[in-house]
């Protein structure tokens, strides 16, 4: 049995949990999420806890047991508190602007990059003045918020992929808590 899967998930007040036809639905103050259960596990409410249990003792069932418990736990956390990722745009002339649900990035290329933000994601841009203590060339801070942990992380990763930080000057898009170890240039050799 999975150590993670054995832990019950506490059901906070104001969160509704339902299982119908192998589809888990979690509804809370921030929204509603659904998940289709794998065929090797079941989920049920016992008191104020959600318990995920494997159908049999196969290796596949044990793997799905811990995974399903983690996914349901993330759903409960998402509908109560939500998830947040912050990206920093660093570089001279690099900037980000938001118009409706379209993010426009100027990242030193000959063209601008336009990214359509998913409708489940709330994206805001804070001015770089708040991040000057992190880096002297911080232009903008992108704050990505949502209730689906996977979607928030994937959106942040897609935006970061447009211009990952380069190893010599550190220019590009990075997470706020990401640490880049800069290389010395060829003059140091």
* List of domains in the chain: 3-80 (3.90.930.12), 83-175 (3.90.930.12)
Residue 20: how many other CB atoms lie within 10 Å? 7
C-alpha 168/C-alpha 151 separation (Å) is 31
| pLDDT, tens digit (0-9, with 9 covering 90-100), for 45-64 | 998 999 999 999 888 888 89
| pLDDT, tens digit (0-9, with 9 covering 90-100), for 96-135 | 999 999 999 999 899 999 999 999 999 999 875 555 555 5
| pLDDT, tens digit (0-9, with 9 covering 90-100), for 136-164 | 566 789 999 999 999 999 999 999 999 99
C-alpha 163/C-alpha 105 separation (Å) is 10
C-alpha 28/C-alpha 18 separation (Å) is 12
- Mean pLDDT value of segment 10-33: 93
Site of tokens 């990722």:
85
Two tokens at 175? 């997470």
Two tokens at 171? 């220019």
Q: Are 140 and 98 in contact (CB under 8 A)?
A: no
For residue 181, is pLDDT > 60?
Answer: yes
Q: Rounded to two decimals, what is the model's pTM?
A: 0.87
């Amino acid at each position: 049995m999975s150590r993670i899967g054995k832990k019950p998930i506490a059901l906070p007040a104001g969160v509704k949990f339902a299982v119908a036809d192998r589809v888990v639905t979690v509804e809370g103050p921030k929204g509603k999420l659904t998940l289709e259960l794998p065929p090797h596990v079941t989920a049920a409410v016992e008191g104020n806890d959600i318990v995920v249990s494997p159908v049999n003792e196969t290796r596949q069932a044990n793997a799905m047991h811990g995974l399903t418990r983690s996914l349901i736990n993330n759903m409960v956390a998402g509908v109560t508190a939500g998830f947040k990722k912050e990206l920093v745009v660093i570089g001279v002339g690099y900037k980000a602007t938001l118009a409706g649900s379209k993010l426009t990035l100027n990242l030193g290329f000959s063209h601008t990059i336009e990214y359509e933000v998913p409708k489940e994601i709330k994206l805001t841009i804070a001015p770089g003045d708040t991040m000057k203590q992190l880096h002297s060339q911080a232009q903008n801070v992108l704050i990505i918020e949502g209730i689906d942990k996977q979607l928030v992380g994937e959106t942040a990763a897609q935006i970061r992929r447009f211009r990952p930080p380069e190893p010599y000057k550190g220019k590009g898009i990075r997470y706020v808590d990401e640490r880049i170890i800069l290389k010395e240039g060829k003059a140091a050799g």
